[in-house]
């Protein structure tokens, strides 16, 4: 049975879309800074990249506060329970129209694979991107002295590729709901369509 559930609160949706926009914009300006193409012009791209980066830091600070004051941080605690079933579902079951191995609820919005992925995203990838970006910024402005920023720049660039891969997979995963657009609609309206047992 399919049921509509108010799954995502207003701030949650705002944070999701604002973070998505900032990450895509940072990728756009960042690769221009690297000389991959010319769109805004190097100097303009540097300035916009800097402002977008600091805006993302502010957004993340608000998101951390929101997660801890609402208890939503518990959603991201990794678990191996039903992890193998979840992997098997994405590899085979989803193409056979099998039932999702983990029921989605307000208390458990993420499946085991999502929990591990998002935990790594929030605890490793984003902190690495922010710290390397901030270090690079202060070195460039002469307030921090380093013999070389090559390793910092490489780490920051590597992190950006990880984010791009994550974004591509994330967009694909939005099509795996009850309908092809149900997950996307949920992040706009807050209401998600979930499968529940008939009982």
> Can you give the pLDDT at residue 198?
58
Look up tokens 């977008």; give the residue: 52
- 131-138 long-range Cβ contacts below 8 angstroms, 24+ apart: 132/156, 132/159, 133/53, 134/53, 134/57, 137/50, 137/53
| CA-based nearest residue to 126, from 76, 83, 85, 92 | 76
> Can you give the pLDDT at residue 67?
96
> Can you give the pLDDT at residue 197?
66
Per-residue model confidence as pLDDT tens digits over 9-42: 999 999 999 999 999 999 999 999 989 999 999 9
Instruction: Give me the residues of the chain with pLDDT under 70, please.
Output: 197-199
> Can you give the pLDDT at residue 193?
85
pTM: 0.89
- 113-120 long-range Cβ contacts below 8 angstroms, 24+ apart: 113/83, 113/86, 113/87, 115/75, 115/76, 115/77, 115/78, 115/79, 116/78, 116/83, 117/166, 118/76, 119/76, 119/77, 119/78
> Can you give the pLDDT at residue 51?
97
Q: Kindly report the number of other CB atoms within 10 A of residue 53's CB atom.
A: 20
Q: In this structure, are residues 192 and 7 in contact, taking their beta carbons and an 8 Å threshold?
A: yes
Task: Please name each of the domains of the chain with its CATH number.
Answer: 2-195 (1.20.950.20)
Please tell me the distance from the alpha carbon of residue 17 to that of residue 32, in angstroms, as a whole number.
23
Paired tokens of 34: 């690297």
Mean pLDDT of the chain: 92
> Can you give the pLDDT at residue 121?
93
């Amino acid at each position: 049975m399919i049921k509509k559930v108010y799954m995502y609160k207003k701030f949650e949706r705002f944070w999701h879309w604002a973070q998505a926009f900032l990450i895509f914009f940072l990728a756009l300006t960042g690769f221009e800074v690297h000389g991959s193409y010319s769109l805004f012009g190097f100097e303009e791209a540097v300035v916009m990249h800097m402002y977008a980066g600091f805006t993302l830091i502010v957004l993340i600070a608000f998101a951390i506060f929101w997660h801890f004051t609402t208890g939503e941080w518990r959603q991201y605690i990794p678990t191996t329970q039903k992890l193998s079933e979840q992997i098997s579902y994405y590899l085979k079951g989803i193409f056979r129209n099998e039932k999702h191995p983990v029921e989605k609820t307000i208390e458990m919005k993420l499946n085991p694979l999502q929990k591990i992925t998002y935990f790594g995203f929030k605890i490793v990838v984003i902190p690495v991107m922010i710290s390397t970006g901030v270090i690079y910024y202060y070195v460039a402005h002469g307030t921090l002295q380093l013999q070389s920023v090559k390793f910092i720049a490489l780490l920051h660039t590597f992190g950006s590729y990880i984010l791009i891969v994550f974004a591509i997979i994330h967009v694909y995963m939005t099509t795996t709901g009850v309908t092809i657009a149900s997950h996307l609609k949920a992040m706009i309206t807050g209401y998600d369509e979930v499968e529940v047992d008939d009982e």
